[in-house]
Amino acid sequence: MAGTRVSELAKELGMTNAEMVQALVDLGVAVPGPAAFIDAETAQIVREMFQEAPSSAARVVEVSPSATVKSLADAIGANAGEVQKKLMEQGMLVSVNQRLSTDAMRSIAASYGVSLKIKVEDRPAAPKPKRKGSQAGPQPRPPVVTVMGHVDHGKTTLLDYIRKTNVVAGEYGGITQHIGAYQVEVTVEKERRKITFIDTPGHAAFTAMRARGASVTDIVVLIVAADDGIMPQTQEAIDHARAAEVPIIVAINKIDRADANPDKVKTQLTELGLVPRDYGGDIECVPVSALTGQGVNELLEHIVFMADLLELKADPNAPVSGVIIEARLEVGRGAVATVLVQEGTLRVGDCVVCGTVHGKIRAMTTERGERVAKATPSMPVEIMGLSGVPQAGDRLEVVSDERCARQIADTRTRQQREANLQRSRNLSLEEVLEGLRKGEATELRVVVKGDVQGSVEAVVGALENLPQESVAVKVLRTGVGNITENDVQLAAACQAIVLGFNVRTDQMAQAAAERQHVDVKTFQVIYELTDAIERAIKGMLAPVYEEVPLGKAEVRATFRTPRGAVIAGCYVTEGKVVRNAEARVVRAKKVVFAGRVDSLRHLKDDVREMAQGFECGIMMDGFNDFKVGDTIEVFENRRVEPE
Ligand code: GDP
């Protein structure tokens, strides 16, 4: 049941990890990354989709992910109008200058016998009619930064400090509101520079977005408390940043504390392969205090320098493309979503599609509640006017009109539904256990979330202490805090279940669990949780039966029926003989046959049972070799609950 590792499947099909993760996302299978496993059935579907025809007759053509109908048609040597017609047949009304989803591109290409290779890293730089006075082509854009680190190492304090002390020019006062991202302006070498921070909590957003193929982060700031050093979530954050190939700047926090030991942190980092600059490596480590603000400016400067090194650019005149950072339903405002614009300029009045949701932008606001008419690359804005709540990581695109937006969203909804039907469902706890019982599975995989670290440890300890002779409980992830979409995605990718102790399941996680059929169970009392698992495991272990003797009969004569079967004429010497009970024939202390009492007669009558001291005729299917003197031992197998 382990399934296939995403990275191995990618290798097998000659795709990059990023392409494979994207392909799975397109299929509606969210995976946390290339190290995740998918089930055999999904792997097969992917193989069928991407394996090149053995005849190799199919032409392979490479196109950009932002190809328009026209550029796709040109690339595969087809007529744009004809392609447009085909798309219409598939329910997509699009203009020739409109961009297509990778799914749609593949299906069109396939109908021309062409196998598509989508350039993953390609950023759209499509020519567009230039607005008067605007500069042409890609221009430098602010870096997008995610702060990650172990719980309590100071992420929130740092993000709050930066937000409060570095206000974008022209934005004063007002109440800031959490929208999942914000932009600040800092002065570096007398220049005003913008930086965008993603402040969705934890690593969840980062991985959820990556699982959906969206990469928004340019730089990861890894925060490590100088009094605590590298902790499990620090390691996890490093893994995430490395997997996404995002450069890391380390903020060694809490240096105001007397017990701060920045050198210890640097040594630990070195051991993990992140060698600080003053240790001869290339990792920038900035000592800071998020509480007093000491060193924070230097940290911001390093972010700006790193951004310059990365030469981050985007074209504000390109077709708009953005990523949903957060989304929710709000009373009185309807669906609101925070979009980080990556290319182009998003404007109020634009018709948009994000994932399976569409709409016309009614209003855009910054996290300071200021209304804006447009949003340029790297700018996060909250948008209103969507038909529903999109998912974090969904790509936002601008299309020509509302009708078209609705049609694309509808088609995607349909495709998603079909893809969901195709792929195998994830399993509930009961189904996993049933699989284990049948020997189809070998372990019960769990993701454990708890309200505090202590309770998480208690749950894990309790799981480890369960009777495990036949069942291995594998804990995939533990964490403190509510059950998030990220937990559900990990569980979905590994066919695991999510167990929560004293925590809630957030809205996105609940929706994801329903969508991906992941079993999420929450408990308030630790006993409840372990008891449920224990009972389930008991039920799952191969049932144990105990033999309960019923009686014995001695064969005193044998008779042959006209049809050739042999009846044993018996005398019940002990207990009773019961029809349909298990029985064995014993001769000279050896069992010569085992079966059941198939027929039991007293004189000419069929009877259900015969007590000690009576005579009866016994027949056992498949055995005609009774001998006078044989003993027939009758017993029953009773199921016993394993201890
Ligand atoms: P998060 O879980 O990473 O978001 O951590 P928080 O920002 O909530 O910080 C956890 C605790 O550490 C809070 O009590 C903060 O006041 C404290 N803290 C954060 N940064 C500093 C710092 O630079 N110095 C000191 N002394 N305490 C800090």
Q: Is the pLDDT of residue 259 over 70?
A: yes
Percent of the chain scoring above 70 in pLDDT: 81
Over residues 17-36, the mean pLDDT reads: 74
Q: Determine if ligand 1 sits within 6 Å of the CB of residue 256.
A: yes
69-83, 98-112, 164-178, 602-616: least confident range: 164-178
Q: Determine if ligand 1 sits within 6 Å of the CB of residue 481.
A: no
Q: Is the pLDDT of residue 531 over 50?
A: yes
Count of beta carbons in the 10 Å neighbourhood of residue 380: 26
Q: Determine if ligand 1 sits within 6 Å of the CB of residue 154.
A: yes
Q: Determine if ligand 1 sits within 6 Å of the CB of residue 521.
A: no
Q: Is the pLDDT of residue 456 over 90?
A: no
Reported as a pLDDT band with limits 50, 70 and 90, residue 425 is very low
289 Cα nearest atom in ligand 1: 23
What pLDDT does residue 42 have?
75
Q: Determine if ligand 1 sits within 6 Å of the CB of residue 32.
A: no
Range among 30-39, 65-74, 179-188, 450-459 with highest mean pLDDT value: 179-188
- Cα-to-centroid distance, 156 and ligand 1 (Å): 7
Q: Determine if ligand 1 sits within 6 Å of the CB of residue 253.
A: yes
What pLDDT does residue 122 have?
35
Reported as a pLDDT band with limits 50, 70 and 90, residue 445 is confident
What pLDDT does residue 416 have?
72
pLDDT tens-digit readout, 62-94: 887 778 888 888 888 888 888 878 877 776 667
Q: Determine if ligand 1 sits within 6 Å of the CB of residue 202.
A: no
Residue 186, beta-bridge partner list? 193
The residue whose CA has the least distance to atom 18 of ligand 1 is 154
Reported as a pLDDT band with limits 50, 70 and 90, residue 4 is confident
What pLDDT does residue 127 have?
35
151 Cα nearest atom in ligand 1: 2
Range among 32-46, 63-77, 300-314 with highest mean pLDDT value: 300-314
Range among 199-208, 259-268, 507-516 with highest mean pLDDT value: 259-268
Query: If you average pLDDT over every residue of the chain, what do you get?
Result: 82
Q: Is the pLDDT of residue 154 over 70?
A: yes
pLDDT tens-digit readout, 495-530: 788 888 888 888 889 888 888 888 888 887 767 776
pLDDT tens-digit readout, 316-332: 998 899 999 988 888 78
Q: Is the pLDDT of residue 58 over 80?
A: no
Q: Is the pLDDT of residue 536 over 70?
A: no
What pLDDT does residue 25 have?
72
Strand arrangement, sheet containing 181-188: 181-188, 191-198, 144-149, 219-225, 248-253, 285-287
| Closest among 394, 411, 423, 408 to 515, alpha carbons compared | 423
Count of beta carbons in the 10 Å neighbourhood of residue 621: 11
Range among 19-33, 139-153, 430-444 with highest mean pLDDT value: 139-153
pTM exceeds 0.75: no
Identify which has the larger pLDDT, 458 or 173. Answer: 458
pLDDT tens-digit readout, 236-258: 788 778 877 899 999 999 999 99
Over residues 289-311, the mean pLDDT reads: 94
- Cα-to-centroid distance, 490 and ligand 1 (Å): 28
What pLDDT does residue 3 have?
74
What pLDDT does residue 567 have?
94
To test the ligand 1 pocket, which listed residue (157, 200, 231, 286) has its Cβ within 8 A of the most ligand atoms? 157
160 Cα nearest atom in ligand 1: 7
- Cα-to-centroid distance, 53 and ligand 1 (Å): 57
What pLDDT does residue 327 have?
86
Radius of gyration of the chain, Cα coordinates, nearest whole angstrom: 34
> Are β-strands 599-602 and 615-619 bridged in parallel, bridged antiparallel, or unpaired?
antiparallel
Q: Determine if ligand 1 sits within 6 Å of the CB of residue 151.
A: yes
- Cα-to-centroid distance, 195 and ligand 1 (Å): 22
Percent of the chain scoring above 90 in pLDDT: 35
Following DSSP, what letter does each residue of 378-416 receive, concatenated? T-EEEEEEESS---TT-EEEEES-HHHHHHHHHHHHHHH
pLDDT tens-digit readout, 547-597: 889 999 999 999 998 888 899 999 999 999 999 999 999 998 888 888 899
Output the 3-class SS for 556-624: EEEEECCCCCEEEEEEEEEEEEECCCEEEEEECCEEEEEEECCEEEECCEECCEEECCCEEEEEECCEC
Q: Is the pLDDT of residue 190 over 90?
A: no
Q: Where are the beta strands (DSSP E) in 229-282?
A: 248-253
What pLDDT does residue 64 have?
79
Query: Which tokens is 453 given?
Result: 């670290």
- Cα-to-centroid distance, 296 and ligand 1 (Å): 14
149 Cα nearest atom in ligand 1: 3
Identify which has the larger pLDDT, 28 or 561. Answer: 561
The residue whose CA has the least distance to atom 24 of ligand 1 is 254
pLDDT tens-digit readout, 136-151: 789 999 999 999 988 8
Q: Determine if ligand 1 sits within 6 Å of the CB of residue 155.
A: yes
What pLDDT does residue 205 have?
60
pLDDT tens-digit readout, 336-390: 999 999 999 999 999 999 988 999 999 999 888 889 999 999 999 999 999 988 8
204-208, 226-230, 266-270, 344-348: least confident range: 204-208
8 Å CB contact between 22 and 117: no
Q: What's the one-letter identity of residue 501?
A: F
3-7, 247-251, 370-374, 422-426: least confident range: 422-426
Q: Determine if ligand 1 sits within 6 Å of the CB of residue 234.
A: no
Exposed / middle / buried, residue 443 (Cβ in 10 Å: 0-12, 13-18, 19+): middle
Over residues 477-489, the mean pLDDT reads: 85
Over residues 286-304, the mean pLDDT reads: 96
| Closest among 577, 556, 565 to 623, alpha carbons compared | 565
Over residues 417-432, the mean pLDDT reads: 56
What pLDDT does residue 599 have?
93
The residue whose CA has the least distance to atom 25 of ligand 1 is 254
Q: Determine if ligand 1 sits within 6 Å of the CB of residue 257.
A: yes
What pLDDT does residue 322 have?
93
CA distance 58 to 54: 9
What pLDDT does residue 1 have?
44
Q: In whole angstroms, what separates CA 162 from the centre of its chain?
A: 32
Query: Which tokens is 595 given?
Result: 């079966």
Query: Which tokens is 427 given?
Result: 């399993």
Q: Determine if ligand 1 sits within 6 Å of the CB of residue 415.
A: no
pLDDT tens-digit readout, 99-133: 777 778 888 888 888 887 777 543 333 333 334 33
* CA pseudo-torsion sign 47, 50, 55, 56: negative
The residue whose CA has the least distance to atom 22 of ligand 1 is 254
What pLDDT does residue 210 have?
62
Query: Which tokens is 280 given?
Result: 């001869």
8 Å CB contact between 479 and 449: yes
CA distances from 565 to 51, 306, 599 (A): 61, 92, 11
To test the ligand 1 pocket, which listed residue (291, 296, 452) has its Cβ within 8 A of the most ligand atoms? 291
Q: Determine if ligand 1 sits within 6 Å of the CB of residue 540.
A: no
